Amino acid sequence: MPIPPKTLHFLRKLKKNSDPVDVAARLQPSERVSSPIMTLPKPTGASVSRIWTRLKKSGVPSSAQDSLADEQTLAQLDAYAGNIENMIGTVKVPIGVVGPLCVNGIFAQGEYFVPLATTEAALVASYARGAKAVGRSGGVSVATLGEGVLRSPAFRFSSIAEAGLFVDWVVSSLDDLISVAETTTRHGKLLSIDPVIDGEIVFLMCRYDTGDAAGQNMVTFATEALCAHAVEASPVAPKTWYLEANFSGDKKASFLGAMLGRGRRVTAQVDVRGDVVEKTFGLSIEQILEYGRVANLGALMSGQVGAQAHFANGLAALYLATGQDVACVAESAVGFTRMERSESGLLVTVTLPNLMLGTVGGGTQLPTQSACLDVIGLRGTGNASALAEIAAAMCLCGELSLTAAVAGGQFGDAHKRLARGE
């Protein structure tokens, strides 16, 4: 079998820059033993200073401390107490704004300015162009179709028979399990428990309504209480059990999430008039659809979970700006984009089944993140579903603009102009 060209290329590069004997020596276990920085959960001026002293002894320049541990950050350390350990400062990411974005939703109604935090030139410009086209066509219609955050514990028994007995007990004890889980939270509700058996192993898909919070910690604490009760009260004792058994799709793209959803499931649609398409994007509807057919084939052939252009771009920027758990983009960016000709123009539809976000808890209360939620007008209780609808509408704008950019040969030029100033 011939050696793949990429392997040959890497081997040549490796031999050109390194002696094989030296490489082998570098890969040997080190005898260096350094004491780690002790975990400091609550940041104080003294703890930040202590860590920086250690870092500078290791060669980190003082200029790094000046940039990260600036005066405003040090004055607001208490605000970060529940969000970070071993804090040394804050990172400033540039924030642009898109809007007004016209949204006709069940929960979000009106025009919104949407802050996006990113270091990628052309991203904000692209979403703004999509929002412009949408606004000229009456706005995006958006509907929240469902919500529910999953946590999936697993229990291992001695046999399939014991696994079956456990499931029988779970089904007959649903009220007790729900009651125990909900004692851990004021806002969360356990909506359902769906057992899944694989031999002697039982997974429980526990789905929660988490109110206006993204709810990752909420469902963890509730499920932990549920599991402890199950182990104590079940007529058959598991050999082992695990609070999360990698079945829920937490922070991963999964087919389960694409079909059943793990956060808020939202669909958005707009009918962009033909004249708006041509004036805003400088190309015809057929050019966009032709590229869309090729792109969908590429998604199919590459095995994408879902089929869309770049949900992750806009979601990551929105999540950074508004204090969401950015790692949840891995699952939130799963979804589907559909474009087709309508009687008046171009019908664009997006569906995102896994939007994990909130307007309370987590990082949403941090100083700059709460300010960004104020820019949208959705800080605090009662706003999470509206934020999800705005996120879906924004993703639609990005899908429309990027698809048009690639279809019209504008993609590279836009990045040259905005990133390099060419």
Say which range, 28-32, 137-141, 148-152, 371-375, has the weakest mean pLDDT.
Answer: 28-32
The predicted structure's pLDDT at residue 8: 73
* H/E stretch holding 53: helix 45-57
- 137 HSE (CA, 13 A, CB side): 28
Closest C-alpha among 262, 259, 266 to residue 244: 262
Q: 208 and 357: one domain?
A: no
Across 191-212, average pLDDT: 96
| pLDDT the model gives residue 411 | 74
Query: Residue 23 has what pLDDT?
Result: 72
Sorting pLDDT into bands at 50, 70 and 90, what band is 66?
A: very high
Which residues are marked as active site?
120, 251, 325, 415
Closest CA to 194 of 237, 248, 250: 248
Burial of 119 (0-12, 13-18, 19+ CB in 10 A): exposed
pLDDT surpasses 90 at 413: no
- For residues 274 and 346, the answer to whether their CB atoms sit within 8 Å is yes
Q: Is the pLDDT of residue 357 over 90?
A: yes
Q: Which residue in the block uniquely carries the two structure tokens 């000046």?
A: 66
Domain stops at, among 184, 214, 242: 242
Residues 61, 126: one domain?
no
Does 383 share its domain with 283?
Answer: yes
CB proximity list for 4: less than 8 A, separation 6 or greater: none
Mean pLDDT confidence for 275-291: 95
Quote the domain boundaries for residue 188: 153-242
Give the integer Cα–Cα distance in Å for 269 and 241: 43
Decide if pLDDT at 198 tops 80: yes
Number of domains the chain is built from: 3
Considering the domain architecture, whether residues 74 and 170 belong to the same structural domain is answered as no
Residues 187 and 69 in one domain: no
279 and 393 in one domain?
yes
Query: pTM for the full model?
Result: 0.92
Q: Are residues 231 and 336 in the same domain?
A: no
Say which CATH number the domain at 231 has.
3.30.70.420
Together in a domain, 267 and 378: yes
129 and 267: one domain?
A: yes
Q: What is the DSSP string of 206-231?
A: EEEE-TTB--HHHHHHHHHHHHHHHH
Q: Are 333 and 392 in the same domain?
A: yes
Q: Are residues 271 and 312 in the same domain?
A: yes
What's residue 1's pLDDT? 60
pLDDT of residue 310: 94
